[in-house]
Structure 1
Amino acid sequence: MDIKDLLNPEESSGEAKKESPLKSLEGDLKFYNESLKEVAVEIMAEGISSYPIFVAHQHEVKLGEVILDKNDLNTEWSIHASTLEEFMEKGLILPEKQEKFLKQYKDAYHFMCVFVIVPEGANFVFFPYQ
């Protein structure tokens, strides 16, 4: 799934279209681009995981390690660094779904894997490094 798939929610019948909060996420990911790539490469180079996952959120989340705090950086989204292994430990990716996840996972040197948490739910997106 591409982040653009999440940016334009379908208009409800008769209601005015609201701007998705994910538009601000796209801007923040572009702003954080270099830092996120460095962290992903470090996770892989140090042998921590071959599958880094970034957790993007606007509220408190107990998953991964905080690497970019929206309050410190005056942005709208905070980012935590995590891994496939942590997602499996916490039951967010079930063992029987691991193979499916790995087939969807894109090259971590060219795409950031972002687990986006919004009030309506959460989903993975792959966003290209600039």
Structure 2
Amino acid sequence: MESEELLGNLNGNGNEPKQEKKQSPLVSLEKDLEFYAESIKEVSVEIMVEGISQAPIFIAHQHEVKIGEMILNREELNTSWTIQASTLEEFVEKGIILPNKKEHFLKNYKKPEDFMCVFVVVPEGANFIYYPYAKK
């Protein structure tokens, strides 16, 4: 057995493990959301004005998801995240938000004129965030 296997990930002198500085994917997401903000806001307004939904939801991902409609493709735009547009209604229909949790979701839903509601999908799971259109 090699000493590395025995010692786990201790460094050469037996001290604590070396901490690799791995940047959170949320850093690149914030950068992309700032870049995308104007386009996302336009789509959000369109969804509400056309009466499709009063609760637009945007899905940010780096793989493939089967919800919503792609509006910003990371490969075409040379960014890190793809954005898809969806609605609260579709999230309920697909079972992501349970029907009995819909009211709770709406109580916490921030004003769509000021914030984008983003469902962030990463390999570890997914969660909702609210990101301001104009950072103060």
Is the counterpart of residue 107 in structure 1 residue 117 in structure 2?
A: no
Structure 1 length as normaliser, TM-score? Answer: 0.88
When the two chains are superposed, the root-mean-square deviation of aligned CA atoms in Å is 1.2
Q: Which runs of 4+ in 1 moved over 3 A?
A: none
TM-score by length of 2: 0.84
For structure 1, the 5+ residue unaligned runs are: 1-12
CA-to-partner distance for each residue in 1:21-46, whole Å, 9 max, x for gaps?
A: 11000000000010000000000000
Is 1:128 the equivalent of 2:132? yes
Q: Please give the alpha-carbon distance, in whole angstroms, between the structure 2 residues aligned to 1:88 and 1:25.
A: 25
Q: Which residue number in structure 2 is paired with residue 54 of structure 1?
A: 58
Distance 2:105 2:56 in 1: 13
Q: CA deviation at 1:109?
A: 0.3
1:20 paired residue among 15, 19, 24: 24
**Correspondent of 1:77 among 61, 77, 81:** 81
Give the share of equivalent positions with the same residue, in percent: 67
Shift of 1:18: 2.3
Which AA in structure 2 matches 1:33?
A
Give the number of aligned pairs: 118
Greater CA radius of gyration, 1 or 2? 2
Q: 1:47 to 1:120 in 2, by over 3 A?
A: same
- Residues 1:44 and 2:48 are matched in the alignment: yes
Return the structure number with greater relative CO, CA threshold 8 A, min gap 6: 1
Shift of 1:15: 6.0
Q: Which residue of 1 aligns with 2:11?
A: none
Query: Aligned to 1:29, what secondary structure does the other structure show?
Result: helix
In structure 2, give the amino acid aligned to 1:41.
V
What is the deviation of 1:100?
A: 1.0
Q: Which residue of 2 aligns with 1:117?
A: 121
1:88 pairs, out of 66, 87, 92, with 92
- Give the letter for the 2:46 counterpart: E
| Unaligned stretches of 5+ residues in structure 2 | 1-15
Cα gap change, 1:28/1:96 in structure 2, threshold over 3 Å: closer, same or farther?
same
